[in-house]
Amino acid sequence: MSAPLFLVESLPTADRMVLDGPEGRHAATVQRLRPGERLLLADGRGGTAAAVVITVGKDTLDLEITARGYVDAPVPRLVVVQGIAKGDRGELAVQAMTEAGVDEIVPWAAERSIALWRGDRGVRAREKWVTTAREAAKQARRTWLPVVAGAPDESTARVARRIAGAAAAFVLHEEAEQRLTRVKLPDTGEIVLVVGPEGGIADRELDAFTEAGARPVRLGPSVLRTSTAGVAALSVLSARLDRW
Residue 235, domain CATH: 3.40.1280.10
The strand ranges marked E within 77-199 are: 77-83, 104-108, 147-148, 168-172, 190-195
Q: Is residue 199 within 8 Å of residue 83, measured between CB atoms?
A: no
Sheet holding 16-19, edge to edge: 5-7, 38-42, 47-57, 60-70, 16-19
66 and 86: one domain? no
Q: 36-66 burial, b if ≥16 CB within 10 A, otherwise e?
A: ebebbbbbbeebbbbbbbeebeebbbbbebe
CATH code for the domain in which residue 33 is found? 2.40.240.20
Range of 61's domain?
5-70
- Give tens-digit pLDDT for 76-132: 999 999 999 888 899 999 999 999 999 999 999 999 888 888 888 888 999 999 999
- Regions of the chain with pLDDT less than 50: none
pLDDT at position 220 is 86
109 and 15: one domain? no
pLDDT at position 215 is 97
65 and 105: one domain? no
- Distance from chain centroid for Cα 138: 11
121 and 233: one domain? yes
53 and 149: one domain? no
Burial classification of residue 87, based on how many CB atoms lie within 10 Å of its CB (0-12 exposed, 13-18 middle, 19 or more buried):
exposed
Residue 107, beta-bridge partner list:
82
| CA 12-13-19 angle, 5° bins | 20
173 and 110: one domain? yes
Q: Is residue 178 within 8 Å of residue 64, measured between CB atoms?
A: no
Q: Rounded to an integer, what distance in angstroms lies between the CA atom of residue 87 and that of residue 76?
A: 31
pLDDT at position 117 is 84
Q: Rounded to an integer, what distance in angstroms lies between the CA atom of residue 244 and that of residue 237?
A: 9
Question: 0.85 cut: is pTM over it?
Answer: yes
Give the chain's domain count.
2
45 and 166: one domain? no
158 and 189: one domain? yes
Q: Which of 37, 70, 103 is the last residue of a domain?
A: 70
87 and 44: one domain? no
Q: Which of 40, 70, 100 is the last residue of a domain?
A: 70
86 and 34: one domain? no
225 and 123: one domain? yes
pLDDT at position 115 is 82
Q: Rounded to an integer, what distance in angstroms lies between the CA atom of residue 40 and that of residue 122?
A: 33
38 and 81: one domain? no
pLDDT at position 119 is 82
pLDDT at position 1 is 67
If we measure between CA atoms, which residue out of 84, 27, 87 comes closest to residue 54? Answer: 27
pLDDT at position 39 is 97
pLDDT at position 12 is 93
pLDDT at position 74 is 94
Q: Which of 54, 70, 86 is the last residue of a domain?
A: 70
